[in-house]
Amino acid sequence: MSNGISKKYSGIALVAAFAMGMAISGEAAAKDKVKVGFIGPLTGGVSVNGIGGRNSADLAVRLRNKDPKAKYEYELVVQDDECKPNIGVQAATKVAADRKVIGAVTHYCSAVAIAAVDTYHKFGLPVVVWGAVLPDITYGNTYKEVHRVNGTMINQNQTAAKFMRSLGYETWAVIHDTTDYGKGHNKYYSENLAKEGGKILATFGVTSDQQDFTAELTKIKELNPDVIYFGGLTPIGVRVRSQMEKLGIKAVFQGTSGIVSDAFVEGTGKLAEGVVAFREGAPTENLPGGQFFLEKYQAEKYDSPPEAYGAFSFAAMNLVLDAIEQVGPNRKKVRDVLNKTSGRDSIVGEISFDDHGQNTVALITKYVIQDGKWTVWEDSDYAAGKRKLVGQK
Amino acid sequence: MDIGFLAQYLMNGLMLGMMYALVAVGFTLFFGVLDVIKFSHGDVLTVGAFTALATYLGLEQIGVTDPATQILVMVIVSTVLIGGLGAVIARTVILPLRSAPPLNTLLITLMLGTVLREAVRLFYPEGGNPKPFPALLPTDSVTFGNFNLRLDNVLMFGAGVLVIVGTQWMLNRTKLGLAIRAVAQDEETAKTMGINFNLIVFITFALGSALAAFAGVMNGLYYNEINFGMGLLLGVIGFSAAIVGGMGNLYGAILGGFLFAALQTIGAVALPFASAYKDVFAFAVVIAIMAWRPTGLIQEKVSDRV
């Protein structure tokens, strides 16, 4: 009898315990932890861009975690790719192999991104590229996992060639790094410049850690071009620009999106004046959600600026988070949602992915450095005719 | 080709060659005295350059702004500290491995190089980024046609020549130099003659490392930018220069340094294919020279090898 009672009670206790357990786990289920990844160059020559991107992705995650309507609690897994393809593949494998990571925002450096896309495909991890501009990252494969919010270097170089020709320049010398990034820029710029009727006098491929450019530059001085086109990233851009000065070369220094960073201005100092470069998308403060983004960024007190691609990283992370919110933490489903992205509103403007997961960014912004600041060409003294680039007509 | 451009190429090559030669001299000193190859040499150069930069920032902090004083203090602090570092390296990693196979020394210095490089990257504030190095020398330039001769380059080159000549003089004309040469020639006999072997080794390593620090400062002043990885390629090139010139021979190292710079310049300018291959070209020629003269262009006068 007493046995029966105790059984009965224990039954009730069990039910109660179960119910309580449900309540606890129910609450936990409302805020299940989901991991999302970020990969970018956090050390090395372009680390300012990587850290800006990391902070921006982190901002997206923090804002989402503060949102009471969010279904999950997100944890950002950060990896450093050092802008080196071999390290990048390791970082990609690490993130992709963690089954708890549902999506990731990856890569500033094209050479790294192109090396890592196979990894994402193999592991089935949906990623959104936030800064790398090499066309082949999206167009060189049919991987459903790979998407990109920023534009490619094709559009950038079209605009660049057209614009520079319109300023009356005739001849160019090209220096590019021999990574996929630099080679891509060289290819697309040369093609577009030929169409516009400009002439390239010589092309120099250089390694991405080269220190001395005096031999190449002396050769260029001999050829005396109007413009030196540089296809590469900030660190060697700084070196080329300052060594130009040492050899007394007066040509215009024309860069690509790879040098649009405050680090370039800081590294070249006074020599930065009159350097031109091109980047897809509008400057952050002119973006539809730019002010909102910058305000939130400021409020979180990150110790370095978002840099040129921070807004893209933020938008990319939001895409991933939205997809997870919509279909839950499932890589395949998230991938499919991302693939269908069309006309999505974001702080960088409308995002639509084509068959290859490539966002169509029509706008290319022309920049010139004026008084130590990257200034939109149309707003600059150069466009107004108050100042002139070397040899500008 | 226009004579002005020729002069310009020559000047570029000479500056490059001077830096390589300074590094190569270090390699050759270590090899001469202890028959060791110290692969951390390039990274010691990096530490030297960063020490000079830190000194500069310190001087700015305490209000010393005269460029001449700044350079002087930077060079002194950097060479003394890095000389000390060289002696410590000799004491802690090289000498204890004296009786181990040479491969061990090679490996341990290779690893030490990685430690130094990574230490700069991780412990120097934002050491992963390239650091602007101040241009402290006068930048006046004289233009002869197409040749832009800059005063700072001339000063740096002159200083480099003085340092190398000084080293050579010290080795050949002083008692200390005599002791170093004695140890290099025959360790046992030198010891019996009352030469303090350990002290001489420390001094040699200090001297070689100080030269590397000097090259590091020169590199910074020339390119106005330093980064944690700069020593890696410089180390390899300096080593190749020392080998191709004839390991253990000071003139060989100098010759090797300038030869390598000349090859790189020719590779970038005179060859029909793209300059991307200039290092490939330079190293290929070095390989060819090594096949032709395995002991280097100028051989060590006294060879104790069997």
Mean pLDDT to the nearest integer, B48-65: 94
Mean pLDDT to the nearest integer, A356-369: 87
Mean pLDDT to the nearest integer, A25-30: 49
pLDDT band at B304 (very low <50, low <70, confident <90, very high): very low
Average pLDDT of the residues of chain B: 89
Note the pLDDT tens digit of each residue in B234-263. 999 999 999 999 888 889 999 999 999 999
A371 and A223 in a common domain? yes
Chain A interface residues (partner B, CB cutoff 8 A): 42-45, 47-48, 178, 203-207, 209, 211-212, 214-216, 218-219, 221-222, 235, 238-239, 242-243, 246-248, 263, 266-267, 269
* The predicted structure's pLDDT at residue B294: 85
What's the angle, vertex CA A54, arms to CA A52 and CA A56, rounded to 5?
70
In a domain, A134, yes or no: yes
Q: How far apart are CA A331 and CA A323, in angstroms?
A: 10
pLDDT band at A74 (very low <50, low <70, confident <90, very high): very high
Look at A215 and B230 and tell me if their CB atoms are within 8 Å.
no
A190 and A233 in a common domain? yes
Count up the domains in chain A and report the number: 2
* The predicted structure's pLDDT at residue A280: 83
pLDDT band at A26 (very low <50, low <70, confident <90, very high): very low
**Closest residue of chain B to A224, computed from CA coordinates:** B146
pLDDT band at A128 (very low <50, low <70, confident <90, very high): very high
A215 and A108 in a common domain? no
* The predicted structure's pLDDT at residue B1: 64
Look at B279 and A207 and tell me if their CB atoms are within 8 Å.
yes
A37 and A139 in a common domain? yes
Q: How far is CA A223 from the centre of its chain?
A: 35
In a domain, A12, yes or no: no
In a domain, A220, yes or no: yes
In a domain, A2, yes or no: no
ipTM of the complex: 0.81
- Report the range of poorest mean pLDDT among A4-18, A128-142, B189-203: A4-18
**Closest residue of chain B to A41, computed from CA coordinates:** B128
A71 and A97 in a common domain? yes
Q: Which residue has the higher pLDDT, A185 or B296?
A: A185
pLDDT band at A285 (very low <50, low <70, confident <90, very high): confident
Measured between CB atoms, which of B148, B219, B274 is closest to A205? B274
Average pLDDT of the residues of chain A: 89
The residue ranges of every structural domain in chain B are: 7-126+149-229
Of A162, A160, A200, A165, nearest in space to A393 by CA: A165
Name residue A40's beta-bridge partners: A80
Note the pLDDT tens digit of each residue in B164-185. 999 999 999 999 999 999 998 8
Note the pLDDT tens digit of each residue in A87-114. 999 999 999 999 999 999 999 999 999 9
A270 and A257 in a common domain? yes
* The predicted structure's pLDDT at residue A6: 53
Share of chain A above pLDDT 90, in %: 68
Please check the confidence at residue A249 and state whether its pLDDT lies above 80: yes
A288 and A216 in a common domain? no
* The predicted structure's pLDDT at residue B4: 84
Please check the confidence at residue B130 and state whether its pLDDT lies above 90: no
Residue A355, domain CATH: 3.40.50.2300
Please check the confidence at residue B305 and state whether its pLDDT lies above 50: no
In a domain, A10, yes or no: no
Mean pLDDT to the nearest integer, A228-243: 92
Mean pLDDT to the nearest integer, A268-292: 88
* The predicted structure's pLDDT at residue A19: 52
Look at A239 and B132 and tell me if their CB atoms are within 8 Å.
no
A186 and A115 in a common domain? no
A378 and A255 in a common domain? yes
In a domain, A24, yes or no: no
In a domain, A97, yes or no: yes
Mean pLDDT to the nearest integer, A126-139: 94
Measured between CB atoms, which of B130, B275, B276 is closest to A235? B130
In a domain, A22, yes or no: no
Look at A216 and B224 and tell me if their CB atoms are within 8 Å.
no
A85 and A51 in a common domain? yes
- Domain residues for A377? 154-280+366-384
Please check the confidence at residue A27 and state whether its pLDDT lies above 50: no
Mean pLDDT to the nearest integer, B181-205: 91
Measured between CB atoms, which of B12, B225, B230 is closest to A215? B12
- Whole-model pTM? 0.80
- Report the range of poorest mean pLDDT among A22-26, A55-59, A315-319, B89-93: A22-26
* The predicted structure's pLDDT at residue A163: 95
Note the pLDDT tens digit of each residue in B60-103. 999 988 999 999 999 999 999 999 999 999 999 999 988 888 88
pLDDT band at B274 (very low <50, low <70, confident <90, very high): low
A377 and A233 in a common domain? yes
A376 and A242 in a common domain? yes
* The predicted structure's pLDDT at residue B138: 87
